């Protein structure tokens, strides 16, 4: 058997929204071999010989995965055991049924059920998880229409989704339990409407709750295999939901900071753009394509241009100390975000520059791929002390990234001049410090490397602010 593949990791940096008494350690949660092979058509189906389950792996790990896949092609029994049976046998609770208390077969445990569960799907000694897992399953059934909802209002489903996610947010150990329950309820589900809602809920959760590093590759391949095998009559919509799951899984597992506790407004917004392209969280190419009918000649995203221009206009006669450093009110930022998604200019929507600045930073931060693509990251941190090398990287970037970054640098240059920074206390160094994490994404989890790279990221961006000639985008930002 080939060596175990270490799944790509993400840094679960806690903010004040995560319960401080959670002491769960994911590092020894599952045996590492349990997440190394491709998914099956259901949780207990046949093996898959297509090496497509690599969405969340960096390039060097994809090569390892391909080598393991070649081994599994000639060893299907081992393939099944590693992908499903071993994970189940080592991590799932044994459930019993009937008067004689016979063990429930694995295929039944991992197939849709209309009944309640009596214990968590995954073995645990955590009393909180043991209790909350049963409540989560009821909520999942309620969302999917398999159980009568307590609330019949128009936004009741979003309320249920928020309740599920808040439980997972407060207790990290519960997150994999949520996902294995969703896998179960979307496997051999005889009701089309229920099945679609199950996939919808999974996509919503993946917008806010990352699975553990040991479980994420297993979940990736379950979703990928579903994309290849499902043949429901409404396959088109199901396919789009599963695609949304893959994209969100890839995105949330690549983030270095976990989002704050989800609000009802954010979940409703997330649901609105499960399938339709949003201005936030999409790729630059998709965003440009989204606006081609409204702004066919605009070289940069409309959202970037309009937020930047409104912020410059607002601060022209109202310079504010700590701009880009002081956060805007979260609720008002979300309201403004919704307005922008409807193509409404924010010019008359707010007079608080911190709200505009926060939303602009959010847009950069949530790009599907960082503004400076990952393959250029090492070059950037290596060029942190050399202006010529830093500037030379600009010519290597893809054209959309180059123009958007050039526009951002020109925008920051306007705030870095002495007459402005003397009032805002945000000179080129401070501006680069707050903006660099929104343009570059560090992939390492080593604290010392992260600390050193953060300084280099900031210095790299500072070099661009101080030395880059941005006259090529003067037509976009005079």
Q: What is the mean pLDDT of the chain?
A: 80
Q: For the chain, what are the domain ranges?
A: 26-272, 284-473
How do residues 123-167 score in pLDDT, each as one tens digit?
Answer: 899 999 999 999 999 999 999 999 887 665 666 899 999 999 999
Residue 5: pLDDT band by 50, 70, 90 thresholds? very low
Please tell me the predicted confidence (pLDDT) of residue 317.
82
Please tell me if the domain spanning 26-272 has the same topology as the one spanning 284-473. Answer: no
Please tell me the predicted confidence (pLDDT) of residue 210.
93
Please tell me the predicted confidence (pLDDT) of residue 350.
83
Please tell me the pTM assigned to this model.
0.65
Do residues 370 and 441 make contact, with C-beta atoms less than 8 angstroms apart? yes
- Residue 348, token pair as written in the block: 């008359």
Please tell me the predicted confidence (pLDDT) of residue 93.
63
How do residues 334-346 score in pLDDT, each as one tens digit?
Answer: 899 989 999 998 8
Please tell me the predicted confidence (pLDDT) of residue 53.
35
Q: Specify the fold of 26-272.
A: 1.25.40
Asked if the model's pLDDT at residue 333 lies above 50, the reply is yes
Please tell me the predicted confidence (pLDDT) of residue 225.
83
Mean pLDDT of 193-204: 96
Close Cβ partners of 225 (under 8 Å, ≥ 6 residues apart): 38, 39, 40, 41, 45, 48, 53
- Residue 365, token pair as written in the block: 């931060």
Asked if the model's pLDDT at residue 273 lies above 80, the reply is yes
Please tell me the predicted confidence (pLDDT) of residue 347.
78
Asked if the model's pLDDT at residue 47 lies above 60, the reply is no
SS (HEC) of the chain: CCCCCCCCCCCCCCCCCCCCCCCCCHHHCCCHHHHCCCCCCCCCCCCCCCCCCCCCCCHHHHHHHHHHHHHHHCCHHHHHHHHHHHHHHHHECCCEECCCCEECCHHHHCCCCCCCCCCCCECCCCHHHHHHHHHHHHHHHHHCCCCCCCCCCCCHHHHHHHHHHHHHHHCCHHHHHHHHHHHHHCCCCCCHHHHHHHHHHHHHHCCCCCCCCCCHHHHHHHHHHHHHHCCCCCHHHHHHHHHHHHHHHHHHCCCCCCCCCCCHHHHHHHHHCCCCCCCCCCCHHHHHHHCCCCCCCCCCCHHHHHHHHHHHHHHHCCCCCCCCCCCCCHHHHHHHHHHHHCCCCHHHCCCCHHHHHHHHHHHHHCCCCCCCCHHHHHHHHHCCCCHHHHHHHHCCCCHHHHHHHHHHHHHHHHHHCHHHHHHHCCCHHHHHHHHHHHHCCCCCCCHHHHHHHHHHHHHHHHHHHHHCCCHHHCCCCC
Please tell me the predicted confidence (pLDDT) of residue 63.
38
Please tell me the distance from the alpha carbon of residue 267 to that of residue 234, in angstroms, as a whole number: 24
Mean pLDDT of 89-117: 68
Residue 196: pLDDT band by 50, 70, 90 thresholds? very high
Residue 227: pLDDT band by 50, 70, 90 thresholds? confident
Mean pLDDT of 365-373: 93
CATH of domain 284-473: 1.10.555.10
Mean pLDDT of 193-205: 96
Asked if the model's pLDDT at residue 85 lies above 80, the reply is no
* Percent of the chain whose pLDDT exceeds 70: 74
Please tell me the predicted confidence (pLDDT) of residue 217.
82
Q: How far is CA 233 from CA 191, 192, 238, in A?
A: 11, 8, 9
How do residues 283-317 score in pLDDT, each as one tens digit?
Answer: 999 999 999 999 999 999 999 999 999 999 999 88
> Which has more pLDDT, 196 or 69?
196
- Residue 460, token pair as written in the block: 């790299």
């Amino acid at each position: 058997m080939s060596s175990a593949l270490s799944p790509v990791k993400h840094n679960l940096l806690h903010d004040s929204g995560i319960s401080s008494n959670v002491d769960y350690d994911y590092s020894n949660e599952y045996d590492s071999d349990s997440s190394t092979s491709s998914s099956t058509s259901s949780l207990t189906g046949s093996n898959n010989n297509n090496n497509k389950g690599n969405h969340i792996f960096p390039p060097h790990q994809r090569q390892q995965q391909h080598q393991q896949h070649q081994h599994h092609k000639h060893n299907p029994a081992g393939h099944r055991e590693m992908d499903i049976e071993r994970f189940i046998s080592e991590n799932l609770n044994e459930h019993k049924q009937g008067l004689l208390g016979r063990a429930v077969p694995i295929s039944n445990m991992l197939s849709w059920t209309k009944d309640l569960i009596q214990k968590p799907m995954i073995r645990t000694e955590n009393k909180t998880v043991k209790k909350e897992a049963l409540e989560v399953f009821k909520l999942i059934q309620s969302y999917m229409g398999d159980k009568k909802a307590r609330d019949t209002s128009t936004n009741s489903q979003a309320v249920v989704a928020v309740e599920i996610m808040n439980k997972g947010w407060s207790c990290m150990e519960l997150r994999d339990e949520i996902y294995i329950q969703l896998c179960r309820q979307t496997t051999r589900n005889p009701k089309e409407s229920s099945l679609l809602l199950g996939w919808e809920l999974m996509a919503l959760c993946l917008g806010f709750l990352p699975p553990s590093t040991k479980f994420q590759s297993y979940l990736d391949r379950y979703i990928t295999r579903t994309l290849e095998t499902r043949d429901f009559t409404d396959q088109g919509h199901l396919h789009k939901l599963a695609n949304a799951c893959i994209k969100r899984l890839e995105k949330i597992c690549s983030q270095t900071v976990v989002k704050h506790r989800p609000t009802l407004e954010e979940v409703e917004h997330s649901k609105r753009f499960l399938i339709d392209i949003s201005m936030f969280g999409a790729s630059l190419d998709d965003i440009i394509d989204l606006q081609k009918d409204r702004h066919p000649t605009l070289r940069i995203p409309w959202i970037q241009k309009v937020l930047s221009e409104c912020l410059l206009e607002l601060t022209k006669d109202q310079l504010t100390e700590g701009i880009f450093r002081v956060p805007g009110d979260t609720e008002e930022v979300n309201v403004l975000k919704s307005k922008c998604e409807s193509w409404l200019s924010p010019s008359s929507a707010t007079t608080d520059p911190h709200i505009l600045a926060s939303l602009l930073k959010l847009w950069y931060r949530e790009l599907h791929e960082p503004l400076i693509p990952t393959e250029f990251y090492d070059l950037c941190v290596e060029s942190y002390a050399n202006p010529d090398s830093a500037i030379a990287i600009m010519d290597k970037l893809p054209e959309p990234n180059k123009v958007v970054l050039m526009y951002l640098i020109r925008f920051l240059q306007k705030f870095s001049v002495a007459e402005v920074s003397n009032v805002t206390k945000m000179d080129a160094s401070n501006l680069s410090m707050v903006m660099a994490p929104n343009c570059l994404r560090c992939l390492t989890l080593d604290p010392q490397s992260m600390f050193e790279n953060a300084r280099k990221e900031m210095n790299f961006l500072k070099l661009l602010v101080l030395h880059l000639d941005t006259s090529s985008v003067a037509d976009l930002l005079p």
